[in-house]
C-alpha cells in the first residue's frame, strides 16, 4: 500500500467502486460465455480466451467489440455482441465470478463509515448479477453502468455523486480509464494494483489487495 505519506482517514463521505478488477474477477467465465456465443455464429473465426477478455476488461461494452472485431461490418458485430451479452449474463447468473480476498469483511467495515456505490462500464444486468453472488450486496446503496444510458464512466460517476448528494467521494479502480474517468468527474482516485491495469500516476493512494482499504480508509 502506498499513500504518499498522506492520511486518508475521515477525508471522504463515500466510496464509489469499479467492478471488474476491483471487486471481482469474472474473466474466466466471461471467456467461456463469449466462446459459447462464438460457436453459435459462423462469422467469428478467432477463439475467445481469458487473455483476450482481460485485454478489453474495463472498456465500454460497445468499444470492447469494436476492439475485438474492428474489421467486421457493424450489423454483424452488433448481432454477435447481443449474443455474447445474453450468454455472459446467463453464465454469470449460474457461476458468478471470483470475489477478491477480504471483500466481505472489508465492505462491512467500510459500510460502517462510508456510503458505498458501484460504477462500471458493463452492460445492463451485470452489476445486478454481481450483487446476486455478493454476500454483502445490501451494503451498496446504488450503482450505475454504461448499459443504462450509454454514457461515459465519468458521467456515470457524476450521476452517482449528484443523485446521492455526495460531498466528498473517492473512486477505487484498477485501470488508467478508471483514473481518467474519476479525474474528469473531479473525484479522487485510489488505484487497485491487483486488478487488470497499470496506472503510473494520478492516484492519491495505491492498494495491493482489497483488504488494504480497511487500513487506508
Return the pLDDT at 149.
Answer: 86
What is the predicted pLDDT for the residue at 94? 96
* Cell 488494504 belongs to residue: 212
Segments making up each domain of the chain, as ranges: 14-25+98-216, 27-95
Cβ contact 144:159 at 8 Å: yes
Q: Which three cell numbers stand for residue 177?
A: 480509464
What distance in Å separates the CA atoms of residue 126 and residue 81, rounded to the nearest whole number? 14
The tens place of each residue's pLDDT in the chain, 217 residues long, gives 767 666 788 899 999 999 999 999 999 999 999 999 999 999 999 999 999 999 999 888 889 999 999 999 999 999 999 999 999 999 999 999 999 999 999 999 999 999 999 999 999 999 999 999 999 999 999 999 998 888 999 999 999 999 999 999 999 999 999 999 999 999 999 999 999 999 999 999 999 999 999 999 9
The domain defined by 27-95 carries CATH number 1.10.150: yes
Give CATH for domain 14-25+98-216.
3.40.50.1000
- How many angstroms separate the CA atoms of 40 and 24, rounded? 28
DSSP string, the chain: -B-TT---TT--SEEEE-SBTTTEE-HHHHHHHHHHHHTT-SS--SPP-HHHHHHHTTS-HHHHHHHH-TTS-HHHHHHHHHHHHHHHHHHHHHH--EEPTTHHHHHHHHHTTSEEEEEES--TTHHHHHHHH-TTGGGEEEEEEHHHH---HHHHHHHHHHHTT-SSEEEEESSHHHHHHHHHTT--EEEETTSS----SS-SEEESSTTHHHHH-
Nine-digit cell at 166? Answer: 455526495
Query: pLDDT digit string (tens) for 23-63?
Result: 999 999 999 999 999 999 999 999 999 999 999 998 888 89
Amino acid at each position: 500500500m502506498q499513500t504518499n505519506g498522506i492520511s486518508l482517514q475521515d477525508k471522504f463521505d463515500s466510496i464509489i467502486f469499479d467492478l471488474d478488477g476491483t471487486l471481482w474477477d469474472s474473466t474466466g467465465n466471461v471467456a467461456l460465455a463469449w466462446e459459447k456465443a462464438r460457436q453459435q455464429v459462423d462469422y467469428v473465426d478467432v477463439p475467445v480466451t481469458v487473455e483476450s477478455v482481460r485485454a478489453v476488461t474495463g472498456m465500454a461494452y460497445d468499444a470492447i467489440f469494436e476492439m475485438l472485431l474492428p474489421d467486421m461490418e457493424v450489423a454483424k458485430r452488433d448481432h454477435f455482441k447481443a449474443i455474447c451479452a445474453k450468454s455472459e449474463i446467463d453464465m454469470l447468473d449460474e457461476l458468478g465470478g471470483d470475489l477478491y480476498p477480504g471483500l466481505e469483511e472489508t465492505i462491512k467495515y467500510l459500510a460502517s463509515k462510508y456510503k458505498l456505490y458501484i460504477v462500471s462500464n458493463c452492460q445492463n444486468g451485470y452489476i445486478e448479477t454481481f450483487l446476486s453472488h455478493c454476500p454483502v450486496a445490501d451494503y451498496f446503496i446504488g450503482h450505475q453502468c454504461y448499459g443504462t444510458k450509454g454514457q461515459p464512466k465519468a458521467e456515470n460517476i457524476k450521476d452517482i455523486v449528484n443523485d446521492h448528494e455526495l460531498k466528498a467521494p473517492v473512486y477505487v479502480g484498477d485501470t488508467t480509464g478508471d483514473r481518467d474517468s474519476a479525474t474528469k468527474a473531479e473525484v479522487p482516485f485510489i488505484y487497485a494494483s491487483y486488478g487488470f491495469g497499470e496506472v503510473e500516476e494520478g492516484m492519491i493512494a495505491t492498494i495491493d489487495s482489497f483488504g488494504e482499504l480497511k487500513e487506508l480508509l
